[in-house]
Structure 1
C-alpha cells in the first residue's frame, strides 16, 4: 500500500510561516479552490488539532516563536471586526480601544447578505478568530506561555475582541483564554485594568450557550484572586448576575461553575457581595444546593453560606432561607469522629457564632440543637482556639432565660470559669459590618455608625445599663467597646481596695466630665464574666456558681490578672457571698475555706503541697482585704437566724460529708461564741472534724483547710494569743513552749572520773560491758523498781555489780543521772538525735522505754520534753512532727498538736505538719483526736491519761 500523502499543514514550519505571513500581510490571501480554505485557515486548523495537542506541542510552538504571530493575527482580526458602536450596551470604555497596540485599520461595513455557497468575509473572520483563540487558550494552560503572552501585550487584543465580536463561540473562547491568563497574578491585574470585567458580565447576561457561560464564569472566578480584586468585582456588579443565573436552575455543569465562582467571590465577604447575592435571589438556591448529590456542589454551597454570615445585613435573610439548620447540620457532621479535620470546621464555627448575633437566628439555632453543639465545642480541648469566639457568641443569649437554663444544665458555668485564665485564641477580629443586624446601620452625613445608635441607646436604657441618654457616647460601638456596667446588686457591698475599683473611661472629645459614664474594662475575659454575672443574678445561683471549679476560675482570674481585675468579677463574688441561698453551697463545697486560703493566706491550689515561685505583687494586700470582706459577708449570713438554722441542720442532720464540711467551715464564718461553742464543742463538730483527718480526703486541699480551721478555732478558744501574719518568716516563729530554764547542777558528776569526790558503793553492768558507778541508797529511793531490786529480797540487793539488761550506754546515761537526783541537768538531751533523723528505733526511744520499765515517770516527762525541744523547736521542720508522733507518747502527741495550732506558724508549714501527723497516725484516729482535744480543751495528758471519748 502506498504511503499516505503528507499535507503541507502537517509541518509546524509551514503553519508558522502562514501565521507570520498573515501577521504581516493581513488576513486575506488566495483561497484554495480544491479545499475551499485559505492557507491561514489550514495552518490554524492544523495547529489546533495536531501540533498544539501533541505531547510537548505547546512548548515547541512557544519555543519556535509562534505566540508573537498568533497574537498579531488576533490583533488584525480584532481590528477587522465590527465597530465598537455596534457592540451594544455594556461595552468596554474607550480606553480599551486606545490601549490596543498598533494602529487598527478602519473596518469596512459588513455586507447586508451572506452567500450560502461562499463564506462571506465576516464568516471567514469568525472562523479565523475561533481557531486562533482556541489555539491561544490552549497555549495559556502552560505557565511560560501565559508569561510570554502578557509580555507580548496579548491581553488588550483579547479584551477588544470581547468588546467587538458578540458571537457566542468567540465570546466563549475569548473568556477561556482570559480565564487561563488570569491564573497568573500579574496577568490578572492587567485584565482588571484593561476593563474586561464589565464585558464579561455583559457576555454572561447576553449569551445563551451553556459552554460560553461556563467559560465566562470561570474567568470571573479566576479574576477573584485577591481581596482587592474580589471587592472590585463585587463593586462592578459581578455577583448579582451570577446569583440570578443560579436561581434559574441551570444545567449541572453550569451550576458547578457558578457555585465555585461564588465561593471565590464570597471569601472575606464584602457588603457589596452579600447585597448582590441576596438581591439576585441566590440565598434560597444555595440552601437547596447544600443537599446536592454532588459533593463539590454541596460543599461549595455550604461554604458560601458560611462566608455570607460575615455580613450582618444578610444574616436574617439567611436564617429565613434555612441556612441556620444547614450550617449546624454540616458542622455537626464534620465534628463527628469520622468527619472532616478541625481546619475544615473553622469557617462553620465562625458562621454559627456570627448567627448568634440576631434574635431570629438565635431562636432557630436554639431549636435546632445549636446550644448543645456550641457546648461541645467548648468542652473540646482541640477546639481551644475557637473558645473565645464561642463564649462571645453565647453572650447573645444573655436575656434568653430558656437558653440560659439549658446552657447551665449543660455545664456552661465551669467552662466559663476555665476561660477566665485560659490562653487567647487565634481568631481574627470581626469588622464593623459583622455587627448585629438587630440594630441596623444608620448612614449619617458625618459617618456610618457601627449599629443603630438610636435603637441601641433606647435598649440600653430600657435594660438598666444606662440611666439616661447622656450616659452613652455616640462614639460607643458594641463591637469595639465593652458593654456598659451592669446595675449593681442590692446585696453587693462596696469593695474596699481602691485599686480594684472600676477605672474611669477616656472622655470623648466635646463631652463634659459629668456626661461621661465609667466603662468596664473589657479584655478577652469580658464575655465570660458577663455571662457569669448574669448567672449570679439568679435567685439561687449556688448550684452552678458556688462550686469548686467555678470559684477556682474566678479566684484565679482575680489574683492572676496582669492588671487590675474587672470589677465585674469582684461583684460576682460579693453577690454570691451575700446571697443567703448560697450559704450552704459555700459550706458543702469548702468555698469559704478556699476564699480564705487563696485570698487571705495567699495559697492557691497549685501552691499545695509544692510551693510555686511567685513574684511579689503589690496587690497581695488588696487580695487579703477582698478575702476578709467576702468572709465577713458569709459571717453575716451564717449568724443570721436563717444561717444558724441552716448550719445546725447541716451539722446534725446532713450527710457525713456535709457534717465534716460544716465543722471545718464554722471557725471561718462564725464569731459568736455561743454559736461555735454549741456546734463545735457541745454538739461534737470538732470531734467530727478530727475523726475525718484519717479518712480519705473529700477535697484536694482538705488537710490544708483543716489545719487552718483548727488554728482559727484555737484562736477563738484562746483569744488572748494574738495571731501572727500568715506571711511571717519561719525563722521568726516562736518555739514550742517547753522547759527552757538554765540547766540545774548535776548530782551524778561527783561519782564520775578516776578520782570521784563521792565513793560509789554499787556499779551497774550494761550489755556492752560498761560499768557505771552508782550509790545504792540514792538509787533505791528514786523508784519503786530499784527499791525492790536493791533493797528488797532479790539477789541484787547483795551484789556490788548489778546488771541492767537491754540498755545502751547513751540510753542508760539519763537513767543514772535521774537515779541520783538530777533534774534538768540536760542529761536527757543526750540520747535524742538531731532533727531530720528518725526517732523510732533511736536511743531516745530506748531511753523512754527504759524510763517506763524502771517506773521513772519524771524521767519520761523530761525525755519527752527533750525530744520536743529538739524536734519541735525552731530547728525542727514540719516533717519532724510526724516523727515525734510516731513515738506513741500522749504528751508528745499533745506537743505535736500544740506545734500545729501555734498562732505564729506559717499556714503552709502548719498544713505540712498535719499531713505528716495524719500519715503517722495511719488508720488510728484515737490518739490524734485525743491530742488535739487535749490542747484545745486545756486538758493535760499524762503518759497513760484517761480517754476523752466518754
Structure 2
C-alpha cells in the first residue's frame, strides 16, 4: 500500500508559522476552498493530534517558541469579550458567547459542511479555534518547563479571562483543565488565586451540566488547594458547598471520584467555613454512604474526609447523626486488625475518634458501638504510645458517665492511667478553639436562674478543685474547658511570686480551691492532667480499692509525686489522701503491701527500681512528711473498731498470703501496744512473718519490707534503744592484751619449752606442758593422763594448718585478747566456709576450748560485721552455723542505726544462707526483735 502523501501540516515549522501569523493578524484569515477550513484551523488540529502528542513533542513545541504565539492567539480570543474586571460571576453572556451558542459544536476533525451555508459562521470558527488552542495549551502544561514558561508569559490572566467570557461547556472544560495543570506548580497556583479564577470556577460548578467539564473544574479546585492559606481562601469563596451539592446529587462514578478527591484536599486542616459549607450542602449523608463504596479510592478518600471534618466541633453532632461515628470506629477497628494498615494510616482516625468523644451524643454512640474497648486497646498498645495522651484526654469526656466509667475500670483503665503519669508518651497535639466541644458553643447563653442541681454540681466542682469559686463556673462549663489562669495584676498591685518549673512547663492551669482568685496558687495542668482527673474521679467511688489500691496504681502515683521536676499536682496528693482516709481501702492497702510501699518510697526513699542496688536517692523533706501523713491516715483507720476487726479477720481467717501481708504491715500502721501485741505476739503474727521469709516472695520488695517491718517492731518492743548508738566493738580487740606466748618463741626462751607440737606440715611449735594441760580437759587427758603423749616430747596435732594452730597455742598459754585470733580470719569479701577461721573454730571445739571459740567468733564479727563489713558479709558469717554468730548476724541486720538498704540486703543474704533450714534464722530474728540476749557480747 502506497504511503500517504505528506501534507503541509506534517511540518511543525508550517504549523508554527500559521500560528504566528494568526496571532499577529487576527483570528480570521483566508479560507482554503479545497478543505473548507482555514489554514490556522488545520495547523491547530495538526499541532494537537500529531505534533504535541508525539514523543518529545511538547518539549520541541516549547523550544521552537510555540507557546508565545499560542498565548497571543488566546489573548486575541479573550479580547473579543469583556475583561475580567468588567464582568463578574453574575454578568450577562457576551456577544461572542451568544454567537457561539448558535453555532455547531466543535469537533476534533474537519468541520462538516453545512447545508445552509458553505462556511462556518465567525462565532463558530472562533469557538473551534479556542477549543483547539486551549487543548494544545492544556497538554503543554503537563510539562513543568512549559508551566513555568506560560506563567512567565502571562498566560494565566488570559485563561481566567476566557473562563469569564466564554461559557460554552467545551471551552470551560479545556480552560479548567489548563488551569488545573498550571496549578500543579505552587507559584502558578498563587497567581491563579490572585487572578480571581476561584469565583469563576465555582460559578462553572453550578452552571455546567457536562460531566467531563465538571471533572475538570473539580480537579482545578483540588489542585488550587495546595496550602492551608489557599484551602481557607477556597472555602471562604464558597468552593465547598457546590461540591457537596454535586456529591449529594449522586453523580456518575468518575465525577464522584473527582469530587471526593477534591473534598479531601479542601478538608485538610478543616476550617470552620469548609465544615459549614459541606454540612449546608448536604454532603454529610452522602459521605457516610460512600464510606462503603466498592471502589477503594472513593472509600478511603471519603473516610479521610470524615476524619478531617471531626476537627470542627460545629459539625460533629450532625456527623454523628449521619452515622459517622460507626463508620470511623469500624474503619479504625479494621486497620488495627491482623490484616490492617500501619500506624501512620491509623493516626487521622484515632484523632477523629478522640475528637468525637467531646459531644455527649457522640459519646453515647461511641460507647454503644464498642468504642471504649477500641480506645482501651490503643492505650495497651505500645506501638500507639504517641497517641496515648490524646486517648486519655478523650476519655475525660466520660467523666460523669457512670456506666462508661465502670466499663473502663473493668477493662483495666486505672493501671494504664497510672502508667501514663510518668510515661514517655508523645506530646499531645494542640487543637484549635474550633475543635472544642459543641455541647457548649462559643456563644454565651443568656443569664437564667440557676437550678438546684447546678448549684450542687458547682459546690462539688469547687470542693474538688476544678474551680476556685462560684464566679469561675457558668451553666456552660465542661470538664475540658478549664478556667483560664487569672489575669496579670494591675501595675498598682503587688506582682505575683515567680512561677516554679511546674508552672512554666504547663500551658493550662487550675486554681486551688478555697482561695480568692487574687491569692490562689496555680495548680499545674500538664500532660498528666487528664490522667489525674480520671484517677480522681475513680477515687471518689465508695470503694475504689479494687482499682486504685493496687501495686501498679500506687507505683504510678508515687512515681509521679516523687519524680516530678517541680511541685506535683495537688490533685495527686488529694487522691492519695482520699484513699488512705477511706475505711473501705484499708484491707486493700494491707493485701497489696501498699502501706509498706508508702513508707519505703516516701519515708525511706527506696523505690522498686532502686532495689536491690544500693543507689543513693536523697529523701526530700516534703516527701517524708507526705509519707508520714499518709501512714498516719492508715493508722487512724487501723485503730478504729472497724479496722481492728478487719485486721483481726485478715490475720486469723485470711488466705496464707493475706495473713503474711497483714503481719508485715501491722508495725507500720499500729501504734497501740495492746493491738500489735495481741496480733503479732499472742496470735502468732510475728512467727508467721518470720516463717514466710524463706518462701517465694509475694512482692518484689518483700524482703525489704520485711526487714523494715521487723526493725519497726523491734522499736515498738524496745522503744528505749537509741537508734544513734549501734552496738560497740569489744574493748579487748581495740586494745590488745600482752602476749604470754611470745617468750617461748625467742632464741633463748626462759623458761625453756618442755614440749613441742608437730603439725601435719612438719612445723614444730614450742609449748609448756603444765600450761597446756591446765587449759582444757582435752589437753589435760592428753598430756597428763595415761595416753602415750604424756611421755612424749613431740606431740602431733593432726588436721591443723599453721594459721589455725597459732591462736590455739596462744590460748593454751593464757593469751586473752592479744590479737592472735585475728590471724586466721580472712578479710571481708572472701568466703569464710573452708577458710582457716572455720578450721580454727572447729579445732577449738574439738579441743574443748570454749573461751577460744568465743574469742574467735568475736574476731570474725569484728572483721566481717564491723565498720568495714558490708551486708554481703552477713550471709557469709551465718553460713558458719555458729549459734552466737547467727545471733550477731540477726542483730547486725536489725540494728536500730542500720541503713534500710543495707538492712534489707543483709536479710536477703541471711535468707539465702539459711536455705531450707530456716529454724536457726527464725529463732535468732525472733530473739533480736523481742530483745532477748543470746550468748556473748554483740559485735558492731
Q: TM-score, normalised by structure 2?
A: 0.90
Measured against aligned partners, the alpha-carbon deviations of 1:381-426 in whole angstroms (never above 9, x if no partner) come to 1111100000000000001111111111111111101110112414
C-alpha distance in 2 between matches for 1:475 and 1:32: 79
Query: 1:900 and 1:515, CA in 2 relative to 1: closer, same or farther beyond 3 A?
Result: closer
SS at structure 2 position matched to 1:782: coil
Query: What is the aligned partner in structure 1 of residue 128 from structure 2?
Result: 127
| Aligned counterpart in structure 1 of residue 785 of structure 2, from 782, 792, 800 | 792
Query: 1:158 and 1:327, CA in 2 relative to 1: closer, same or farther beyond 3 A?
Result: same
SS at structure 2 position matched to 1:452: helix
Query: 1:485 and 1:778, CA in 2 relative to 1: closer, same or farther beyond 3 A?
Result: farther
Query: 1:442 and 1:768, CA in 2 relative to 1: closer, same or farther beyond 3 A?
Result: same
| Aligned counterpart in structure 1 of residue 489 of structure 2, from 464, 485, 488 | 485
Shift of 1:907: 1.1
Shift of 1:43: 0.5
Shift of 1:111: 21
Query: 1:837 and 1:94, CA in 2 relative to 1: closer, same or farther beyond 3 A?
Result: farther
Q: Is the 8 A contact 1:491 1:575 kept in 2?
A: no
Measured against aligned partners, the alpha-carbon deviations of 1:270-316 in whole angstroms (never above 9, x if no partner) come to 00000000000000000000000000000111000000000000000
Asked whether 1:220 is paired with 2:221, we answer: yes
Query: 1:42 and 1:817, CA in 2 relative to 1: closer, same or farther beyond 3 A?
Result: same
| Aligned counterpart in structure 1 of residue 533 of structure 2, from 527, 530, 551 | 530
Measured against aligned partners, the alpha-carbon deviations of 1:243-289 in whole angstroms (never above 9, x if no partner) come to 01100101100000000000000000000000000000000000000
C-alpha distance in 1 between matches for 2:392 and 2:489: 19
Measured against aligned partners, the alpha-carbon deviations of 1:349-397 in whole angstroms (never above 9, x if no partner) come to 0000000000000000000000010011111111111000000000000
Query: 1:324 and 1:505, CA in 2 relative to 1: closer, same or farther beyond 3 A?
Result: closer
Query: 1:338 and 1:643, CA in 2 relative to 1: closer, same or farther beyond 3 A?
Result: same
Q: Is the 8 A contact 2:761 2:801 kept in 1?
A: yes
SS at structure 1 position matched to 2:731: coil
Query: 1:616 and 1:44, CA in 2 relative to 1: closer, same or farther beyond 3 A?
Result: farther
C-alpha distance in 1 between matches for 2:95 and 2:728: 98
Shift of 1:790: 2.1
Shift of 1:642: 1.4
C-alpha distance in 2 between matches for 1:386 and 1:698: 34
Q: Is the 8 A contact 2:697 2:703 kept in 1?
A: yes
C-alpha distance in 2 between matches for 1:581 and 1:485: 45
Shift of 1:483: 16
Asked whether 1:496 is paired with 2:500, we answer: yes
Q: Is the 8 A contact 1:465 1:485 kept in 2?
A: no
C-alpha distance in 1 between matches for 2:512 and 2:665: 49
Pick which of 351-360 and 711-720 moved more.
711-720
Measured against aligned partners, the alpha-carbon deviations of 1:871-905 in whole angstroms (never above 9, x if no partner) come to 10001111111111111111101101100111111
Query: What is the aligned partner in structure 2 of residue 87 from structure 1?
Result: 87
Query: What is the aligned partner in structure 1 of residue 748 from structure 2?
Result: 755
Query: 1:294 and 1:128, CA in 2 relative to 1: closer, same or farther beyond 3 A?
Result: same
C-alpha distance in 2 between matches for 1:200 and 1:640: 80
Shift of 1:118: 3.2
Shift of 1:794: 1.6
Q: Is the 8 A contact 1:78 1:157 kept in 2?
A: yes
Measured against aligned partners, the alpha-carbon deviations of 1:675-727 in whole angstroms (never above 9, x if no partner) come to 2222222222222222222222111111111111111111112111233599x
Q: Counterparts of 1:412-431 in structure 2 under 5 Å?
A: 412-431=413-432
Query: What is the aligned partner in structure 2 of residue 3 from structure 1?
Result: 3
Q: Is the 8 A contact 2:464 2:513 kept in 1?
A: no
Q: Is the 8 A contact 2:96 2:123 kept in 1?
A: no
Shift of 1:85: 11
Query: What is the aligned partner in structure 2 of residue 576 from structure 1?
Result: 579
C-alpha distance in 2 between matches for 1:856 and 1:472: 86
C-alpha distance in 1 between matches for 2:417 and 2:883: 50
Query: What is the aligned partner in structure 2 of residue 50 from structure 1?
Result: 50
Query: What is the aligned partner in structure 1 of residue 935 from structure 2?
Result: 942
Q: Is the 8 A contact 1:93 1:195 kept in 2?
A: no
Q: Is the 8 A contact 2:511 2:523 kept in 1?
A: no
Query: 1:697 and 1:786, CA in 2 relative to 1: closer, same or farther beyond 3 A?
Result: same
Q: Is the 8 A contact 2:502 2:566 kept in 1?
A: no
Query: 1:490 and 1:404, CA in 2 relative to 1: closer, same or farther beyond 3 A?
Result: farther
C-alpha distance in 1 between matches for 2:95 and 2:572: 64
C-alpha distance in 2 between matches for 1:931 and 1:490: 65
Query: What is the aligned partner in structure 1 of residue 923 from structure 2?
Result: 930
Measured against aligned partners, the alpha-carbon deviations of 1:42-88 in whole angstroms (never above 9, x if no partner) come to 00111111111111111111111001001111111111247879978
Shift of 1:759: 3.8
Shift of 1:936: 2.2
Q: Is the 8 A contact 1:735 1:874 kept in 2?
A: no
Unaligned stretches of 5+ residues in structure 2: none
SS at structure 2 position matched to 1:505: strand
SS at structure 2 position matched to 1:836: coil
Measured against aligned partners, the alpha-carbon deviations of 1:560-609 in whole angstroms (never above 9, x if no partner) come to 11110000000111111111111111111111111111111111111112
Considering only aligned residues, what root-mean-square deviation do their CA atoms show, in Å? Answer: 6.2
Query: 1:392 and 1:857, CA in 2 relative to 1: closer, same or farther beyond 3 A?
Result: same
Query: 1:190 and 1:670, CA in 2 relative to 1: closer, same or farther beyond 3 A?
Result: same
Aligned residues: 935
Q: Is the 8 A contact 2:31 2:39 kept in 1?
A: yes
Shift of 1:939: 3.6
Shift of 1:171: 0.6
C-alpha distance in 2 between matches for 1:509 and 1:566: 13
Pick which of 253-262 and 506-515 moved more.
506-515
Shift of 1:513: 5.1
Query: 1:454 and 1:93, CA in 2 relative to 1: closer, same or farther beyond 3 A?
Result: farther
